[in-house]
Chains A and B, each alone.
Chain A
Amino acid sequence: AQKITQTQPGMFVQEKEAVTLDCTYDTSDPSYGLFWYKQPSSGEMIFLIYQGSYDQQNATEGRYSLNFQKARKSANLVISASQLGDSAMYFCAMRETGFQKLVFGTGTRLLVSP
């Protein structure tokens, strides 16, 4: 069964606008962590933001925030005030407690236009 689902293969946004990248997950473990990574065209994997399943508040890191809806099992990434440098692949990932493995979604390619 797919643990992490990213249904948007590609997204387009204009500079300075906000964009939401969708991520849903599947787990029966009450304790888990959710991660978002950015992969620019240069290829490196850049950690953006983390949300723990017991965290009471949505995680924020600068222009990145995670819209965590536990009942819906969704962990959408919100990028505010998009910049040209935000053009990249974005991956959602999950780790369940007791497992050392981080499972990734298939990614969303974001293109920011001037």
Chain B
Amino acid sequence: NAGVTQTPKFQVLKTGQSMTLQCAQDMNHNSMYWYRQDPGMGLRLIYYSASEGTTDKGEVPNGYNVSRLNKREFSLRLESAAPSQTSVYFCASKGLSLLEKLFFGSGTQLSVL
């Protein structure tokens, strides 16, 4: 079972470059999430999509855009990367129940020089 698949696993960008992080889940989950993880700060929510066709801002949305392409896929775009966006990015998904756990992808380590 693939679960939640993120690509790429590693990426190095120069300041000002753009890129899209891809995420796909095969569990027929309604909700999908993008988090970033920085040392000492835990995981912070960037954007989430409660269902296909909807997206909402999380705690730290500035500098990012998202697209819920279909029920399976939720992408995160950095239009003009900044060094402050150097982080580990996690995609996650969950089913209908509000109290259900999140299933996480394996993460993307992004460095912006």
Contact = CB atoms under 8 A, between A and B. Distances in A.
Interface of A: 6, 9, 33, 35, 43-45, 47, 50, 52, 91, 93, 95, 97-107
Contacts, number: 53
Interface string B86-102: 00101010000011011
A104 B92 CA distance: 13
Interface of B: 31, 33, 35, 40-45, 48, 50, 58, 88, 90, 92, 98-99, 101-104, 106-107
Question: Would you call the interface of chain B mostly helix, strand, loop, or mixed?
Answer: strand
Given A43-B107, A52-B99, A101 B42 contact: no
A100 B101 contact: no
Question: Would you call the interface of chain A mostly helix, strand, loop, or mixed?
Answer: loop
Contacts of A103: 45
Contact of B41 (A33, A44, A106): A106
Contacts of B98: 33, 95, 97-100
